[in-house]
């Protein structure tokens, strides 16, 4: 199994996670989900593997979640999932899949337990903040 990152290149956290993966010596498969979209089986499988629900994977800021009425607690997971299929930006990111597991990697450090190869050099976020030191 290879490493896969469901990535939004416009997202700083997603770019940071991609940099950490690459710093481990792994070149992941990068899926720019805003371009490819999602399928229901794909999201259900990712959420199950990462122990997420549509509600816990919902991006609530910088997305149309509020405009679509998805923040109301009475909205069902099925309705949120339907909205995610129509508006891929509603899925929080990045989601990383490796042989060690699947996780929504926010904050960036969340990716570290998924790495197969230990980092040999420090990795820094775009703002200069250290993510990890080996």
Active site residues: 11
d(CA 127, CA 64): 27
By CB atoms closer than 10 A (0-12, 13-18, 19+), residue 103 is buried
Q: CA of 3: how far to CAs of 6, 80, 110, 134, in Å? A: 10, 27, 15, 20
């Amino acid at each position: 199994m290879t490493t896969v990152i469901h990535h939004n290149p416009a997202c700083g956290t997603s770019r940071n996670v991609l940099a950490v993966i690459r710093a481990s010596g792994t070149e992941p498969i990068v899926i720019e989900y805003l371009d490819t979209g999602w399928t229901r089986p794909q999201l259900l499988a990712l959420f199950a593997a990462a122990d997420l629900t549509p509600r816990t994977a919902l991006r609530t800021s910088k997305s149309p979640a509020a405009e679509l009425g998805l923040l109301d607690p009475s909205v069902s997971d099925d309705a949120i999932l339907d909205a995610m299929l129509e508006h891929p930006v509603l899925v929080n990111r990045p989601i990383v899949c490796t042989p060690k597991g699947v996780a929504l990697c926010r904050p960036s450090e969340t990716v570290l337990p998924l790495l197969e190869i230990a980092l040999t050099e420090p990795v820094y976020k775009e703002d200069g903040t250290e993510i990890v030191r080996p």
